[in-house]
Chain A
Amino acid sequence: MHGQPRKPARIEDAAVSTAKAEALRNLQTQFIHNHRNQIYTDEAIEVSAKLLEVNPEIYTAWNYRKLAVQNRLGSVAVPEAIKAVLDEELRVAEVALKQNPKAYGAWHHRKWVLKKGHSSIDRELRLLGLLLKLDGRNFHGWNHMRFIYGLKNVSEEEELKFSTDKIYSNFSNYSAWHNRSVILFKLLKEKAVQKEVLSEEYEFIHNAIFTDPDDQSGWFYHRWLLNQTITPENVLLIGSWPINGSELVLSTDRNNIGCTPVFLTSHHLKYVLHTGSLPIILYFSQPLKGLNSSTVTVESILGTNGHLDWRPVSMNNSGESHSWMTYVEIPDLGSHDAKQTFTVNFGNSEGIISTNCSSCIYPFQFQFTVDWSYTGSEWTERNVGAEVVDWKDENFNSDTLPHDLSDVLISLDQLRISKDNEATFSKWHLDTLSNEIDLFRDLSSDGSCKIANLTLARLLIAKDMVSHGFPVTGKRIHSQEVLDLFDGLMKMDPPHSQYYKDEHSLVLMDQITSDKEKLRKLCTHYRMPSSSSHAQYVCLQLNRLSLSRIGFFERLLWVQMLDLSHNEVRSIEGLEAMQLLCCLNLSNNKIRSFSALGPLRLIKSLRVLDISNNEIGAHSTDSTRYTWPSPLSHNTEEYMKDVEQTAHWEAILLFKGLILTQLDVKGNAIADESLQALLPRVLPTLKWLDRVEL
């Protein structure tokens, strides 16, 4: 009952209503009888027409009419007679659409008739023009128009002109803007005209936004144009581990079961690995699928690793991922030089698919060396599980951190993959963005226009990115202004404040992770309280930054110990890319369910996890229920079948397969006795639960 006023029943209304009901019931009964008995006489067909006139949504009546048409066409051969039968159907559908312009069945019936090819397409277009004049937002009408244009082979230029006319007659027509984007998307595939088309569209959309900035019709179109402007044509490699030019020192303490190689970098960042093979992690600007050993090869003195198994670091069934990793087998030592160089090389794009971008990967190549000569064994997995990791401030010290961590912390400079890479963005990009920034700065000057402020923030972020090229490094010139804009938006538009807060957090993350100085200041050394050896782990401390969202993981692939405590983090989406992560502190955040921690299932190096003092179990709505693979999302993996029907099936799903030695869960609504009893069973490697030794 859309849009029908609620009113008290009046006697005279009731009488009318009863009469109408009586008539409708008679029609329905007759119709069902005719349909059941396949009666297609004129009288019977007329009953269905009357019924549809009253209620165009009775889908069975449309089906009946199609059967009746088929029945009639079986007995007529003259084109005029065929046309007469079909024209009658168009008439009935027209009457129905006047009664209800949104009746799915009537629209489909029309299409079914028109497909037979006996009807006047021009008349159809005229009718459609009238309908869209009455309601320019009727999406059935627009869909029908695209269908008719397809039948008639109307050119894209003509279709574009229709949308232009519609927009000029009313800027506030989202449907017309949408239709425009569909046509332009096709036109933009032709690279030669891209810049010209985009420039014209910016001009066009300004008319809409500046006429009435509060009207949403133009908002999404502008954002789409901006995305079209700043998305590189190709997929780029924007992060890796090891990083280009780095030197890894490998220990060969093979006596220590489960953690054969130990990696140290030239600056004492140590990597403990658990498989006897060297991981290589790649992070791309767009999610893609189909990466394999012929796409990316790894060469060393040992030859080309021909059969590398590249795997997406992703939990989705789609197989698409930003991040891909493989393991290179470590050769038997002794028979080779102490130092070896590995070259990671992009081969070809064959089989690579990216839904968001053109499928080609921008060529890249990078090198790192591995030094086998290190024989020390002070750093092995023994240390990680040997005693409780305590996240207290006094255990973290920045003084002992080697000063020059820069090449380890920031790999991005070295990731300049090709000297042609700067060509991704041209002067046109910068000029276009500068021009937009000027315009929106004007529009936002009185401080009250939400979309002006939001668009300005997005433009400034884009400008910072475009100025630096890919991968994005270097100081963000505009970040303070952007942060201020988001602060302002939170006050200006409170219902959406969490959106601006999340954007604010991402800008902060970008600022931190792209600036060596800032990042260096957030790194400390963790020192085990009872350990005599100092300088064990380098910890990235992103705690107490009031972050509600985290990101830019491609710049954090090297991190093994991460403190995110005392923020407002609700989701750790994307964290799975941090494949070297060993210790993670997420305590005192706003994590609401075990499923929100789903990305951790992919981090097999994780040993120490603190999720205490969150909101797990405190909410009945779980917004991450479908963000991880579970029996609900068609995951057919074997181990899923073991999940027991308990109140804690999500905990089992999360922890099963992880090799944690230490876990803190206290301070969550869900952390009751039954969970406490369950966890050691699910995590047989666990030594400490809530700091209590098991």
Chain B
Amino acid sequence: MKLEEEKHVQYILSVEKRSNDLESLVMDHLKLSGAYWGLTTLHLLGRLSSVDQDRIIDWVLKCQHESGGFAGNVGHDPHILHTLSAVQVLALFDRMDVLDVDKLCSCILLYVGSSSDVAGLQNEDGSFSGDMWGEIDTRFSYCSICCLALLHRLDEINIEKAVSYIVSCKNLDGGFGCTPGAESHAGQIFCCVGALAITGCLSYIDKDLLGWWLCERQVKSGGLNGRPEKLPDVCYSWWVLSSLIMIDRVDWIDKNKLSQFILECQDTENGGISDRPDDAVDVYHTYFGIAGLSHLEYPGLKAIDPAYALPVEVVDRIFIGK
């Protein structure tokens, strides 16, 4: 099978235009993250210019709350998940100049959504909350760290504590959970490994132990699951594969079989990629499928960075470019 590039581009563009059917309404509260998935996919396919950049940036800025944080859509509350998506979308367009960086950072350093300057998202133990309501999760550690790094403001949090909290979430299998004691999960592992990569602290990971657990996520069909004895799902082509790449153990899986699995999950008629063959497609899995294929060096796709989840050329421009 081969990658139906043009069909996927058309699929993403059609999703971007749609707003009134059930599927897009269900996703309405996280549209900003949806925009990040779709636009990154287009970038990897070399087709970012197919969208109206100014219109999208106007809308992104409308999602910004007065606290500086971004909501998943206009009218919703700000959250670190969507704040990162906003920064990533602007990075894709090389338009971070439209951001008031001080204001945005203050939402992480202060509470997202709170106008009082009581405390930031980072808690005393180094963990991060997602917003002012205090849900704690290593996903939010990753989002905060990734977001601040992209804005060159990582030094404004307590990195040592942030790292030690993530390390405290490490499990018997070398993986990581959302809080200390929580079970390892590939998505969570990506967040923790990504945060440790960005902070230059990968040495806290037992790469051989975690690498074995991660490579055993590959099931007979070639797909990857997110935890032992679970079904494979295209989204783990991103979570597992990125983690394996960051710890330099990606050769421990069969890359050809994984490529095949992802390609089999394409809707070859209407475009888009689903979690498993013959399931309904969505933007989320389309992005993770194509990002996974990029990691697997599928011909014609641009390279994607495993830690920042942005195209390598975008990341290099931010960190190497002057």
Contact = CB atoms under 8 A, between A and B. Distances in A.
B46 interface: no
B149 A17 contact: no
A248 B113 CA distance: 66
B228 A217 contact: yes
Nearest to A643: B320
Nearest to B301: A620
Nearest to B30: A57
B178 A178 contact: no
B201 A6 contact: no
Contacts of B21: 17-18, 21
Interface in A125-153: 137, 139, 142-143, 146
Given A1-B280, A314-B203, A621 B303 contact: yes
A120 B149 CA distance: 43
B128 to A, nearest CB: 14
Nearest to A497: B254
Interface in B98-151: 113, 131, 133-135, 137, 149
Contact of A621 (B172, B184, B245): B245
A623 B26 CA distance: 37
Interface residues of B, number: 97
A220 B173 contact: yes
A320 B196 CA distance: 14
B251 A631 contact: no
Q: What 8 pairs between A and B have smallest CB-CB spacing? A: A495-B254, A317-B200, A633-B200, A626-B197, A316-B203, A216-B228, A181-B172, A224-B172
Contact of A174 (B25, B133, B209, B228): B228
Interface stretch (A58-66, A254-262, A335-343, A430-438): A58-66
Contact of A139 (B77, B154, B155, B182): B182
A542 B281 CA distance: 51
Interface residues of A, number: 88
B322 A5 contact: no
A356 B285 CA distance: 36
Interface stretch (B47-55, B84-92, B271-279): B271-279
B161 interface: no
A596 B250 CA distance: 14
Contacts of A635: 200
The CB with the most chain A CB atoms within 10 A, among B199, B228, B245, is that of B228
Given A21-B20, A634-B159, A626 B246 contact: yes
A6 B275 contact: no
A633 B228 contact: no
Contacts of A318: 163, 200-201, 203-204
A112 B134 CA distance: 9
A619 interface: yes
B59 interface: no
B22 A571 contact: no
B250 A6 contact: no
Given A174-B183, A355-B204, A623-B250, A495 B218 contact: yes
Interface stretch (A28-36, A665-673, A680-688): A28-36
Interface in B301-322: 303, 305-308, 312, 315-316, 319-322
Contact of A175 (B183, B303, B308): B183
A691 interface: no
Contacts of B201: 316-318
Given A57-B29, A179-B183, A316 B200 contact: yes
Contacts of A17: 21-22
Given A1-B281, A108-B133, A494-B254, A220 B204 contact: no
Given A57-B29, A59-B79, A496 B183 contact: no
B256 to A, nearest CB: 9
Nearest to A176: B183
B275 A2 contact: yes
A146 B275 contact: no
B203 A6 contact: no
Contacts of A20: 22
B215 interface: yes
A1 B235 CA distance: 11
A227 B85 CA distance: 40
Interface in B265-296: 267, 274-276, 278-282, 285, 294-296
Contacts of B285: 1
The CB with the most chain B CB atoms within 10 A, among A1, A137, A320, A355, is that of A1
A195 B316 CA distance: 51
Nearest to B317: A645
6 contacts: A139-B185, A142-B182, A143-B183, A318-B201, A623-B250, A645-B322
Contacts of B173: 178, 220, 224
A632 interface: yes
A175 B211 CA distance: 19
B316 to A, nearest CB: 8
Interface in B202-235: 202-204, 206, 209, 211-213, 215-216, 218, 222, 227-230, 233
Contact of B133 (A63, A502, A649): A63
Given A174-B228, A178-B173, 8 more contacts: A18-B22, A57-B30, A63-B77, A179-B181, A223-B209, A596-B248, A625-B246, A629-B200
Contact of B22 (A21, A223, A316, A621): A21
The CB with the most chain A CB atoms within 10 A, among B177, B222, B246, B252, is that of B252
Given A3-B279, A174-B183, A217-B228, A645 B321 contact: yes
Contacts of B155: 636
Interface in A63-102: 63, 66
Given A57-B29, A620-B297, A137 B248 contact: no
Contact of B25 (A28, A104, A108): A28
Contacts of A224: 172-173
Interface in A162-190: 172, 174-175, 178-179, 181-182, 185
Interface in A1-27: 1-7, 17-18, 20-21, 24-25
A498 B252 contact: yes
Interface in B153-185: 154-155, 159, 163, 167, 171-173, 177-179, 181-185
Contacts of A320: 203-204
A321 B204 CA distance: 10
A24 B218 contact: no
B320 to A, nearest CB: 5
A463 interface: no
Contacts of B278: 5-6
A633 B182 contact: no
A142 B178 CA distance: 12
Given A6-B267, A316-B201, A621-B245, A55 B26 contact: yes
A287 interface: yes
Contact of A178 (B137, B184, B297, B316): B184
Contacts of A5: 278-280
Given A112-B133, A625-B306, A631-B320, A220 B172 contact: yes
B218 to A, nearest CB: 6
A627 interface: yes
Given A21-B21, A179-B183, A634-B198, A499 B172 contact: no
Given A1-B281, A17-B21, A217 B229 contact: yes
Contacts of B307: 625-626, 632
A137 B179 contact: no
A343 B147 CA distance: 50
B262 interface: no
B229 A172 contact: yes
Given A63-B133, A216-B216, A318-B203, A633 B197 contact: yes
B263 interface: no
Nearest to B154: A634
B212 to A, nearest CB: 7
A356 B172 CA distance: 11
Contacts of A220: 172-173, 213, 228
Nearest to A16: B22
A619 B297 contact: yes
A6 B276 CA distance: 10
